Amino acid sequence: MKALVLLPLFAVLSSFAQTESPAPKDSPVEVIGHHWSSERQAAAVPDSPAMVPARAVIAENKNFRRKAREQVSPGMVDPNEGTIDGRSEALEKTVHNASTPVKDPVDGFGYRAVFRNATQTKIELIFWEYQFTERANPSNFVRRQFLCVANIKPGERKELHAFSTAGPSDVIAAESLANKPEQLFDEKVVVNRIEYSNGAILQRGDWDYKTFKSAIERATKTPWATEMCRPF
């Protein structure tokens, strides 16, 4: 029986595939390359700024005095800070900052793949997965699936990046520890589903959207920020 051990993957692991196997000529999307590595994602900044009262117009804010104040030495006190509105603003900001929890960065993994749209129609969404097969224990097969707002124009190449707290594998065979990190897995990127701007949908025959529908809905129920991909 193969010995299985937990592997702390956050440390220094990374892998890069320079090329993929040539895609068929009629393939709608070509996978040009892929890469994964350990990453640390900064905590999200709250998007609800403190509500502060509008400053009252004082003489020092009139154009002439404001221009003159711009010429003084740095460190001079802003006259607005001495007004009631200025003090209220400072107090509101202090209360808001004190009540806003400070979140620590999140350790995880970044998964990247470069795709080329080989069709004449813009690709809006791509469902894809990063597959890992442990070389020392081929039965240890792991897939990390992602949904990406791709927006890839016809003929365009684009790198998509997804962040996940789930790594290539949580458990590996003891034999793998004797190998270099980049030799632990055989890796492959597979496109499961493509949604085009004209409403057309292409889906891999052995991948069923309904099977993952609830997971996809959970992953997309919160508003999207700046990320282009989400794991599900």
Residue range 5-26: average pLDDT?
39
Judged by average pLDDT, the poorest of 29-43, 72-86, 217-231 is 72-86
Output DSSP code: residue 123: E
Q: Give the confidence band of 225 by pLDDT, cuts at 50, 70, 90.
A: confident
- Per the structure block, which two tokens stand in for 113? 């793949």
Q: How far apart are CA 210 and CA 44, in angstroms?
A: 31
pLDDT at 19 over 60: no
| Residue 200: band (very low, low, confident or very high) from pLDDT cuts 50, 70, 90 | very high
Q: How far apart are CA 86 and CA 77, in angstroms?
A: 12
Write the CA distances from 137 to 7, 11, 130, integer angstroms: 14, 22, 18
The whole-angstrom separation of Cα 114 and Cα 110 is: 13
Which of the pair, 10 or 138, is modelled with greater confidence? Answer: 138
Tokens standing for 159? 């790198």
pLDDT at 12 (0 to 100) = 31
- Does residue 17 register a pLDDT over 50? no
Task: Specify which residues 149 forms β-bridges with.
Answer: 125
pLDDT at 196 over 90: yes
The pLDDT tens digits for 57-74 are: 656 555 655 555 556 555
Q: State the pLDDT confidence band at 23, using cuts at 50, 70 and 90.
A: very low
**Banded model confidence at residue 4, pLDDT cuts 50, 70, 90:** very low
Across the range 34-59, mean pLDDT stands at: 69
Confidence bin at 42 (pLDDT 50/70/90): confident
129-174: pLDDT as tens digits? 999 999 988 999 999 999 999 999 999 999 999 999 999 987 766 6
pLDDT at position 169: 85
CA distance 191 to 161: 14
CA R_g for the chain: 26
Mean pLDDT calculated for residue range 13-42: 67
Domain boundaries, the chain: 4-43+106-231, 59-99
Give 200's contacts (C-beta < 8 A, 6+ positions apart). 121
Q: Is the pLDDT reported for residue 55 higher than 70?
A: no
Structurally, what CATH architecture does the domain formed by 4-43+106-231 represent?
A: Sandwich (2.60)
